[in-house]
Amino acid sequence: MDQGKIPRQQIVADGHADGSAVTRRQCGRGGGEFAALADRFLGAGTPVAAICGATFGLARAGLLDERRHTSAAPGYLAASGYRGEAFYEDARATVDDERLLITAGPDAPVQFAGATLEALGLFDATVREAYEGVFADADADAYPALMQAAAAA
């Protein structure tokens, strides 16, 4: 297989919820191993970030049933059989109340990255706003604000 191509099966990190002993292995089509790992991480207080199709896997496993989340569209997740409609937010990226679950739809990679970095404590809201201004909105005026905010953080 060409090293530059992603295999048909998902590659996920496996290890302990504290981040130790992480190895890489393939996860089967059903995504059950991915969801089990995400459940274990969330239960241990370790953040989980899911974008695009990964949100469907979490929904199918019931991990979005009682947490604030977003995705491509409510109907997309409904097809998974989940029961978390009341917690769905129409937003580019969402961080749950415990700051453990970060979700985004397929059209929001910049917002997803910003939300993830903020949830991990690597950005504050000011840096995130400037980051999204530069990389999502192509706002040249946001670049100096990003540099200033990053220097102050």
Question: In angstroms, what CA-CA distances link 17 with 24, 39, 44?
Answer: 14, 10, 6
Distances in Å between the alpha carbon of 89 and those of 63, 66, 97? Answer: 15, 12, 13
Catalytic residue among 52, 78, 91, 117: 52
Report CA-CA distances (Å) from 130 to 14, 124, 145, 153. Answer: 33, 10, 6, 12
Q: In the annotation, is 27 catalytic?
A: no
d(CA 47, CA 110): 18
Which residue in the block uniquely carries the two structure tokens 């993830």? 116
Residue length of the chain:
153
CA distance 93 to 115: 7
Catalytic residues: 52
